[in-house]
A and B are shown apart, each in its own frame.
Chain A
Amino acid sequence: AQKVTQTQTSISVVEKTTVTMDCVYETRDSSYFLFWYKQTASGEIVFLIRQDSYKKENATVGHYSLNFQKPKSSIGLIITATQIEDSAVYFCAMREGSSNTNKVVFGTGTRLQVLP
């Protein structure tokens, strides 16, 4: 069964610095897809970035990038030059690709607070 674990419940950083949020996953599939979503204070859930398991190069979108370490089943999210508006809860998620499932499983989330 697939599982996603985020051990950091809360992180505080000063704006304009870099933060890394951890995520490890479990799956028996050889093909899978990893995602990071952001939930704002209003409750809105927004897709940020994605990594396909067969791609070796780390994904990058704007000031979000991923640290994909496949042997460790780890997919960390890196936010550079953080801004106050990056304060939110960040969820890591996974979808298995080769098995007959469309289910996306989420981690428990990491609350990021960016301070002035």
Chain B
Amino acid sequence: GPKVLQIPSHQIIDMGQMVTLNCDPVSNHLYFYWYKQILGQQMEFLVNFYNGKVMEKSKLFKDQFSVERPDGSYFTLKIQPTALEDSAVYFCASSTQGASAETLYFGSGTRLTVL
């Protein structure tokens, strides 16, 4: 089936540094999402993105977070500066259309460890 690729699979950084998580969504998908999962718990919605804009974001999407997809390349989540509580697995997802409730396709996640 369709694949969403996330790079890297694991990232370790020092607190206060900047980190960029990369997502290569399914090629014909138009909606993109980031979710945060701590210690195998519930997946928490962070943000969704369409047509170059943030459509919705949750309270977890702090001011230090930003997303973009320059020129149809990777869909990225940038955290600057990072904090200890940002340690989690971040999942990227994409779908063809939002309003018609298409299935989300998830990447394998990036495990972020902030020291």
A-to-B contact residues, CB < 8 Å:
33, 35, 37, 39, 42-47, 50, 52, 89, 91, 95, 97, 101-109
B-to-A contact residues, CB < 8 Å:
31, 33, 35, 40-45, 48, 50, 55-56, 58, 89, 91, 95, 98-99, 101, 103-106, 108-109
The 4 residue pairs across chains A and B that have the minimum distance between CB atoms: A102-B98, A33-B101, A45-B106, A108-B42
With both chains docked as a complex, state the minimum distance between the C-beta of B31 and any C-beta of chain A, in angstroms: 6
With both chains docked as a complex, state the minimum distance between the C-beta of B50 and any C-beta of chain A, in angstroms: 7
- Given the known interface contacts A102-B48, A102-B50, A102-B56, the answer about A95 and B101 at a Cβ–Cβ threshold of 8 Å is yes
C-alpha gap A101/B101 in the complex (Å):
10
C-alpha gap A105/B98 in the complex (Å):
14
C-alpha gap A105/B43 in the complex (Å):
8
B101 adjacent to A97 (CB under 8 Å): yes
Q: How would you classify the secondary structure of chain B's contact residues: helix, strand, loop or mixed? A: strand
With both chains docked as a complex, state the minimum distance between the C-beta of B47 and any C-beta of chain A, in angstroms: 9
Which among A37, A42, A43, A89 has the highest number of chain B CB atoms within 10 Å?
A43
Q: How would you classify the secondary structure of chain A's contact residues: helix, strand, loop or mixed? A: strand
C-alpha gap A50/B98 in the complex (Å):
15
With both chains docked as a complex, state the minimum distance between the C-beta of B33 and any C-beta of chain A, in angstroms: 7
**B31 closest partner in A (C-beta):** A102
Question: Which residues of chain A are near B48, meaning CB under 8 Å?
Answer: 102-103
B56 adjacent to A101 (CB under 8 Å): yes
**B107 closest partner in A (C-beta):** A45
Q: 14 A-B residue contacts at CB 8 Å? A: A37-B106, A43-B109, A45-B91, A91-B43, A97-B101, A101-B56, A102-B48, A102-B99, A103-B45, A106-B42, A106-B43, A106-B45, A108-B42, A109-B41
B103 adjacent to A50 (CB under 8 Å): yes
Question: Which residues of chain A are near B95, meaning CB under 8 Å?
Answer: 102
- Given the known interface contacts A104-B45, A109-B42, the answer about A42 and B33 at a Cβ–Cβ threshold of 8 Å is no
Question: Which residues of chain B are near A42, meaning CB under 8 Å?
Answer: 108
Question: Which residues of chain B are near A97, meaning CB under 8 Å?
Answer: 99, 101
With both chains docked as a complex, state the minimum distance between the C-beta of B65 and any C-beta of chain A, in angstroms: 16
B41 adjacent to A105 (CB under 8 Å): no
Question: Which residues of chain B are near A108, meaning CB under 8 Å?
Answer: 41-42
